[in-house]
Structure 1
Amino acid sequence: MFRMVRTEIWKLKRYHMIWAGVLLMLLSVLLTIFSTTALDGTIWTFSHFTEQVLKNNITMIFPMCITLLAGYIIAREEKDDTLKSIMTIPVSYCHLLWGKLLVCALLSLFLGFVSAVFTVIANLIMGFPGFSVTSVLQTFVQIILNCLFLYIAVMPVIAVTARISNGHMIGTVIAFVYGYGGMFAAGNMTIANIYPITVSMGLIRYRSYDEAVHWNTALCGLSMLVVLLVSAVIVMTAKNASPIKTVKKQKKIVTKKGW
C-alpha cells in the first residue's frame, strides 16, 4: 500500500487539475474579502475573518473541490487507458481505489494548508486586528483539519461515483448540493451534530465560544465514523470491478432495395 500511495503521489506532478484546487482555495478567501466590503456593522478581526473563510470552504468550495479532484485522479486510469494494464498485476481494483483515496486525503491536507496560507496573507493585507502567533496557529490547525474532515464527509460520494464512467462530474454536483445543505443544517444544533458536513465544524470547535453553539464532540465523532464505515463498505464491494461504461447501441442502417 505504501508503494501504491507513493506512486500515486508521483502521478500528481503531471495533473494540472491540482492547480484548479489551489485557485478554488484562493477563491474562498477572495469571496471572504469581498464580504468585508458590506456596510452591515460587522467588526472584522483576524479570528472572524478565519471563521468566514471556514464557512465558505464548508458550504460552497471544498466539498465540490475535493470531489472533483479525487474523481479526476481516479478517472485518469480509465482515460489514459492504463487501468487494463494495472489489472494484469496482482493488485485488486479495491486496493487501487484505497490507494487513490489515501492520496486524496493527503491532498486535502495540502489544500487546507494552502487555504490557511492565503487566509493569513489576506489578514495581513487587510490589517484586521487580533493578529498573534496563537491566532495564526489556530487558523492553520482549524482549516487543515476541517479540510480533512470535509474530505471524509464526501468520501462516500467519491467512492460511489468512481464506479461510473466520468462519474466525477456527477459527484461534483452532488457534493456541491451536499455541502450547501450544511448552511441549513447549521441552523439546528441537533442536525448539525449529525450532518457530516457540519460535523466537520464541530470537530474543530467552530465558534465554540458562542453560547448558542453547543457541539457534541462524541456525537460528531460517531457520525464521522459512520461515514468512514459506509465508505469502506462501498470500496470493498468494488472488488475486482472497474468503472461501468455506458455503451450506446448502434443504430442499424437499413439499405434501401432497388434503385
Structure 2
Amino acid sequence: MLKLIQIEFLKLRRQKLLYFLLPCSFVMPFFSFLYFHYLGETNVNPMMFYKWSAFGFTQFMILPFVLGMLCVIFMHEETRYDMFRQLWIVPVNKMGLFFSKFFVTLLYSMSFMLLNAAASVLFGVLPGYFPFSWADTLFLVERCLEIAVLIGISMLPVLALSALQKGYLFPACMILLYLFAGFFMTSVCPYFHPISCTSILIARNGIIPGLTLPSELLPAFLGILVWCLGSIAFASLALRKKKVGGEHMKTLLWAELQKLRRSNILFVTIFAVFFVAILVFSGGVVMVSEEQYALNRTGWYLSTAQVWATLFVLPAMLALFGSYLICREDQDDTMKSLLLIPVSKRKLTAVKLFVTFVFSIFTYFLLFLLTFSAEVILHTSEVSFQMFFHFLSMYLLEGIGVFLAVSPIIALVPYWKKSYWLAMVLAELYSFACFFMSMSPVLKTFYPISAIFGVSGYYETSPEGRFCSLLILLLCGGVSLLFLQRTKGLH
C-alpha cells in the first residue's frame, strides 16, 4: 500500500495542472478582502471573514471542484493508455490502487485548505480588518482540516465513477452536477448529500455566524458513511470489470457529428440541463422563502434558471466540450492520417468551433423548453406569446454570448497541449467570478460573463452599456480567432 502511494506521488510530479490548482485556495480569501474593502468596513468579526474566505464557497464549490478534477485525472491517466491491463498482470491489488489514489487526494485536500487558512489570516490581519488572535487562528486551522478530510471523503463517489469510465467527459461533467446538487440540497434536505452533511458538521454549535443548519450530527455522519460505503462497493465492481487484454466543409461537419454519436457528452449535457432545471425549481418551492417563488411568481423560474446555469454549469461544460473537439485528433494521434488525405486543419478547426457554437445554443434552448413548459403548467392563464418570445430571445442570446465569452479559453487549449482540465477549471473560475464583478456597475458592463446578461436583457441597462457589453463579447470572439490563427501547425 505504501509503495502504491509513493508511486502516485511520483505521478503527481508530471501533472503541471495540479500546481495551478493549489493557488485556487487564495481565490475566496482575496475576494473576501475585496468584499469588505468594497463595503468600507474596518472592524470585522473574524468569524464573519472566515465564513466568506473558508466556510462558504471554498467548501461548497472550489475545493470539491478541485478535488473532483484531481480524481478524474488520476483515473484518466490509467485508462487513457490502458495501464490497468498491465497493472493487473503484475498483479496490483485493485482496491489498494483505488485507496492509494484516494489517500493522495486526501493529502492534497489538506494542503489546499492549509493554504486557504494561511491566506485567510493574511488577507484579514494585514489590511487591519481584525487583530491577530491565536484562538481564532487555531479554530480556523482546525475547521479547515475538518473540511479537507470531510470533503476529501465526499469525493469518493467521483473517484469511483471515474474508475468506471475510460473517457473523462462524463465524470468531469458529473463533478459540476455533484457539487451543484450539494450546494442546493444544503437548505432543502442536507442529510442526503455528503457535501451538505459536511456543512452541518462544520457549522456545529452555531459558531459560524449566518450559517443556520440542523443540529443533529449523527444523521450527517451516517449520510457520509452510506455514500462512502456505496462508492467503495461501486469502485470494486467497476475495477473488477476491467479485464486483462481533399475534403469539403459539409463532409467535415458530418464527420464531427458522427464522432459525437460515440461520445457521452450529449447525454451528459441533456442530463445536466434537466438536473439544473429540477434543482432550481425545487429551490424556488422549498428553500427560497415561504412565498414559494416558483409557484406564485410568473417568470421567476425562467429568469432564475438561466442565471444559475450560466454561473455554475454551462460555461465550464462548453469549454470542456470545445477544447476536447479541437484537440481530439492530437489526443487520438489521428491528425497525421488526416493530413495525408489531405485535410485542411484550418477548416477542421472552423467546423469544430461551429459545432461548439451550435452546441451552446442547443443547451440553452433545451433549458428554455424545460423552464417554459413548467411555467405553462403552473401559470397557464398568465403565459402569453409576448412572454414566450421575450424569454426565447433571452435564452438564445445567452447561448451565443456564453460561446463568445469562453471562446478565448477554448482557443488557448492548442497552446497547452491537451490540457482540457485547465480549460474547464479556468471557465468555472471565470463564470464564478461574475458574482463579485457584478457588484460594480462598470465591471458588470465590461466583464464578459456579466455582459451576457446585459446583452440578453436579463437586467436593465442603458443602450450605451448594452453596446459596450456587445463589443466586449465580440472582442472575446475576435481574440479567440487570433489565437487560433497564430497556433503553430494550424495552417
Q: TM-score over 0.5 for the alignment? A: yes
- Displacement after TM superposition at 1:43 (Å): 4.1
Mapping for residues 154-233 of structure 1, pairs under 5 Å: 154-208=406-460, 213-214=461-462, 216-233=465-482
- TM-score, normalization: structure 1? 0.82
Structure 2 counterpart of 1:5, from 253, 256, 276: 253
Q: Which residue of 1 aligns with 2:355?
A: 103
Q: Which runs of 5+ in 2 are unaligned?
A: 1-248
Instruction: Tell me if the contact between 2:404 and 2:474 (Cα under 8 Å) persists in the aligned partners.
Output: no
CA 1:128 to 1:239, structure 2 compared with 1: closer, same or farther past 3 Å?
farther
Q: Which residue of 2 aligns with 1:19?
A: 267
CA 1:128 to 1:188, structure 2 compared with 1: closer, same or farther past 3 Å?
farther
Match for 1:73: what amino acid? Answer: L
Whole-Å separation in 2 of the counterparts to 1:235 and 1:46 = 44
Match for 2:335: what amino acid? Answer: L
Mapping for residues 236-255 of structure 1, pairs under 5 Å: 236-241=485-490
Alignment RMSD, CA only?
A: 2.3
Match for 1:152: what amino acid? Answer: L
Mapping for residues 73-152 of structure 1, pairs under 5 Å: 73-127=325-379, 130-152=382-404
Q: Deviations over 1:203-251 (max 9, x none)?
A: 111132xxxx556121012111211111011100114159xxxxxxxxx
Whole-Å separation in 1 of the counterparts to 2:490 and 2:398 = 32
Q: Deviations over 1:144-201 (max 9, x none)?
A: 2201210110001011124434312211111011011112222222111111111111
Compare the two structures and name the one with the higher helix fraction.
Answer: 2
Match for 1:89: what amino acid? Answer: I
Matched, 1:35 2:287: no
Bigger radius of gyration among the two: 2
Q: Which residue of 2 aligns with 1:254?
A: none
Instruction: Tell me if the contact between 1:24 and 1:65 (Cα under 8 Å) persists in the aligned partners.
Output: no
Whole-Å separation in 2 of the counterparts to 1:151 and 1:204 = 13
Q: SS in structure 2 opposite 1:18?
A: helix
CA 1:181 to 1:130, structure 2 compared with 1: closer, same or farther past 3 Å?
farther
- Displacement after TM superposition at 1:64 (Å): 0.8
Q: Deviations over 1:106-159 (max 9, x none)?
A: 111111211111112333455587322222222222112201210110001011
Whole-Å separation in 2 of the counterparts to 1:115 and 1:101 = 21
Aligned length: 238
Q: Which residue of 2 aligns with 1:253?
A: none
Q: Deviations over 1:7-42 (max 9, x none)?
A: 323332222212111122122212211221122546
Q: SS in structure 1 opposite 2:401?
A: helix
Match for 2:258: what amino acid? Answer: W
- TM-score, normalization: structure 2? 0.45
